[in-house]
Structures are given as structure tokens and as C-alpha cells.
Amino acid sequence: MGVGRVSAIVLLAHTDCNMVNVTEKRDIFIRGLVEWGGSIEKDASRQFDDYATRCENGDPVEFVVSEAARIRSFYPSLLVAPLLYAVEDGLLAQITA
């Protein structure tokens, strides 16, 4: 692909992702941006409100499968491999859809 001659793309989703239903975790994220990121609360609130819905994921398997289909539609010659890492047991699985 392009000048890098990429021939495969791996998409790695994982369980226990904090971006699942992130809009329901607004206060926690803003507090983290302030405490850990050094942001001002007003700026953290604005950033969350501007980006949370764009970055929110639902089910990790559904998300990675849909992203794989989207990428394949742009680059039909590439191998696109959706994978799922299970945080609970450390296993990595290829998703076939």
C-alpha cells in the first residue's frame, strides 16, 4: 500500500475496554484528564464533549469486524486480519466473519 508496500493490516481489539460506552463515564474520564493529564477541568470537559461520541465503541468484536470491512472496502488487495485480545485470560484470537 502506498510507498511503504504494506501488504497486511492487523486490527487488534480487546475486551475490558474503557471506550465501550464511554459517554456514560464522563465524570471519570474528565477527572482522569485533570488528575493524570494535567488538564484544566473546563478544557477536559470540552475535549470529552467534542470527542467522546466519535471515539466510543460498543462490542469490541462488532467494532473490529466493521473496521476490517471498512478498510477492505478501501484496499481490496490487502490482507486485513481482525484480532481480539481477551484481557481476562491473555488469549489472542482471530475473528472470522
**pLDDT for residue 1:** 58
Mean pLDDT by 10 residues, the chain (97 residues): 81 90 92 95 96 87 93 94 96 90
DSSP for 4-17 reads GT--EEEEEEESS-
What does pTM read for this prediction?
0.72
**pLDDT for residue 97:** 65
